[in-house]
Amino acid sequence: MVDRFVSLEPIHNTSEIKPLIRQGSRVFRSFTNSDSPAFPPPLMTRHISDIHGGIDNTGDGKGDYIVPPSDSDARGRPSRYYPLKVMFWSDYYEQWDYKIQVRNVPPGWSIQALTENGQQVGDTYKAINIEPNTVVGTFWEIGATPGAPEKAEVEFVLYRDRLPFIEDPVLHVVPILFSKSVGSGPLGAPTVAFSDPLPNQSVVIVANNIQIRGTATSPDGIASVRWFSSQGSSGPATGLSTWSATVPLAVGDNLITVIARSPAGAEGKGTVRITRLPIYRYTIDSAPSGLDVIVDGVIQRTPLVFDWPAGERHTLDVVASQARKDSRLIFSQWSSGETKAHVIVSSAATALTAIFQVFHPVFVTASPATGGRITVTPTSPDGYYLAGKLLTFTALPEAGYQFLDWQGSLGGSSAIRQRTVDGPLSVTARFGAQTPVTVLVSPQVISMVPNQTREFVASVSGLGSSSVTWSMESQNGVIATLFTDRGVNKAILKVPHQAISAESLITITAKSISDPGRSASAVVLVRPAVGDARSSVEICDS
């Protein structure tokens, strides 16, 4: 037999009979003359009904014959049984054969008689032989399903066997009350209680694990505590009567069951439900990056990364006008199309960008200030221009001054320049006082005959451009061509073959571009091809 059972043992006392509960060892008590002042004692089974209801040794208001419930097997019977020993004895002087049967077993309860080798044989104990004045123990197993009634008042019926001449073979009916309970009484399963989180607490977290704590109690002690997750993981808890465990969580509902086992194998469990929310990553930036946005009322600088649980609400706003060095940044729109301030409900990984328009300052300076001025097209009321805008700069000298060149964000000596705004611009136009311009043409005097070509060079002194424009004037119908394709400072005169009867003059003039009032001329004497008609040439300088 197993080492752990409940023994209902009648103890002979001349005034009353009480059950004795034993745990952890077999209980057997023989009776001798010292047990009673009178021998043989009275038939004890006549009084064994006095144990009806049991004795409340544990103070829990229930009988001491406690049976922890278990799940049902395929036949609807309890899947776990607990051993039970019931003692009978006789004071008859003759030896009789008896059999014992249980009656009134409620649905969900099961009491099975055991053979010597521990086999269940049903509700009737095999024939036993009780010698006079001796005690015989009978062995049973009892179990209850969770849906069984809380209490079972079961009758143990003692028969005389093989006495056909006896009309009523029933000698005695012994009612015994069993209580179904978890965690109380000698055979009670352990009680599992949660301290953190509480069983009735709705727990919603975002972490990928949770630490649970609690207690496990049993009169028999606690042998082990393990946890099981509905997501498939399990493991041992740390500690026994006071235990803790770190349980991994999957996204969604996690039903965590903690099972405590007593040294006898009785089990008790407790459950708690944890909901883990999915986490979505929100990346918040600005264009350009490094600007201020407002998240849940707090100003923060981009770029930002947040991990927000599903369903959480957050407010998103932006500082509409910002400055970076000398530039201005004005909020335009969110990349999602949302308005400036709006609410986000976490539902998916999202990247959001606050888009700004960038305005750069354009500073213009005339040097000296009295030398001229600069116009910028298009105009701006405050000197700030949208990045990417194409601007035209024009240098306008005042009277007595001429434009020299650009400095700063522009270069060159052309009075009109263009530039795209790609950052703060600082432009300076340099002006200088005008000085007399002198134009010289070389050679100054030359004679030619038909079918000849000569080159002329103009030089300009003084401030301003060194370029000139060329012109030609011919007399007496002399045909000539002036070419300036070699540059504005050079010209080629070609006199084609022709008949000339007398000397003729051709005047070539170079006029200053920067000061059209300044020019110089050269006179060319064209002579007939035969003979020498050379004459003097007059140089004009105006």
Q: What is the pLDDT of residues 95-105, one digit of tens each?
A: 566 777 888 88
Show the 3-state SS of 463-478: CCCCCEEEEEEECCCC
Looking at residue 372, its pLDDT comes to: 95
What 3 state SS string does 42-100 have? CCHHHCHHHHCCCCCCCCCCCCCCEECCCCECCCCCECCCEEEEEEEEECCCCCEEEEE
283 near 350, Cβ under 8 Å? yes
Residues 33, 160: one domain? yes
Higher-confidence position of 299 and 184: 299
Within this chain, do residues 348 and 426 fall inside the same structural domain, yes or no?
A: yes
In a domain, 212, yes or no: yes
| Residue 100 placed within a domain | yes
Q: Tell whether 170 and 62 lie within a shared domain.
A: yes
Domain with residue 443: its CATH number is 2.60.40.10
Instruction: Express each pLDDT in 488-519 by its tens digit.
Output: 788 888 888 887 878 888 888 888 877 787 88
Q: Is residue 536 part of a domain?
A: no
Of 276, 293, 308, the one marking the end of a domain is 276
Of 223, 252, 276, which residue constitutes the final position of a domain?
A: 276
* Residue that the structure tokens 């099972």 belong to: 259
What is the DSSP track for 404-428? EEEEES--SS-SEEEEE-SS-EEEE
Choose the most confident range, by mean pLDDT, from 67-81, 138-152, 334-348. 334-348
Domain that holds residue 24: 6-180
Instruction: Say if residue 269 is in the same domain as residue 382.
Output: no
Is there a single domain that holds both residue 155 and residue 84?
yes
**What's the structural domain count of the chain?**
4
Is the pLDDT assigned to residue 29 strictly greater than 80? no
At 111 the pLDDT is 85
Mean pLDDT of the chain: 76
Q: Residue 185: inside a domain, yes or no?
A: no
My answer on whether 226 and 336 are in the same domain is no
Are both 196 and 322 inside the same structural domain?
A: no
User: How far is Cα of residue 448 from the mean position of the Cα atoms in its chain?
Assistant: 94
Whether residue 168 is found in the same domain as residue 139: yes
Q: Nearest-5° angle of CA 97, CA 100, CA 103?
A: 155
At 213, is the pLDDT very low, low, confident or very high (cuts 50, 70, 90)?
very high
Q: How far apart are CA 254 and CA 273, in angstroms?
A: 6
Nearest one of 282, 268, 393, 383 to 327, comparing CA atoms: 383
Predicted confidence band of residue 48 (pLDDT cuts 50, 70, 90): very low
Give the tokens for residue 288: 């350009």
Q: Tell me if 233 sits within 8 A of 198, measured CB to CB.
A: no
Whole-number Å distance between alpha carbons of 132 and 437? 158
Is 133 contained in some domain? Answer: yes
Is residue 234 located within the same domain as residue 290?
Answer: no
Domain final residue, candidates 247, 276, 305:
276
209 and 157 in a common domain: no
Q: d(Cα 107, Cα 122) in Å, to the nearest integer?
A: 15
Q: pTM of this prediction?
A: 0.46
Q: What is the pLDDT of residues 76-90, one digit of tens each?
A: 777 777 666 666 655
pLDDT band for position 43 (50/70/90)? very low
Regarding whether 300 and 228 lie in a shared domain, the answer is no
- Per the model's pLDDT, the better-predicted residue between 477 and 315 turns out to be 315
Share of the chain above pLDDT 70, in %: 72
**Residue-level length of the chain:** 542
Q: Note if the bond before 368 is cis, omega within 30 degrees.
A: yes
* 234 bridge partner residues: 228
Give 231's contacts (C-beta < 8 A, 6+ positions apart): 248, 249, 250, 254
Sheet harboring 209-217: ordered strands across?
A: 191-196, 209-217, 242-248
Residue 535, in any domain of the structure: no
In Å, how far are 4, 48, 328, 331 from 340, measured between CA atoms? 75, 88, 18, 8
Say if residues 34 and 155 touch (Cβ distance below 8 Å).
no
372-393 tens-digit pLDDT: 999 999 999 999 999 999 999 9
The first and second tokens of residue 158, run together, are: 């003692």
The answer to whether residue 347 sits within a structural domain is yes
State the pLDDT confidence band at 320, using cuts at 50, 70 and 90.
very high
Q: Do residue 347 and residue 408 come from a single domain?
A: yes
Q: Is residue 300 predicted with pLDDT exceeding 90?
A: yes
Q: Which of 109-113, 217-221, 227-231, 352-356 has the lowest mean pLDDT?
A: 217-221
The yes-or-no verdict on residue 220 having pLDDT over 80 is no
Ramachandran region, residue 451 (left: φ > 0; alpha: ψ -120 to 50; beta: rest): left
Residue 201, C-beta contacts closer than 8 angstroms, at least 6 positions apart: 272
Q: Is residue 225 part of a domain?
A: yes
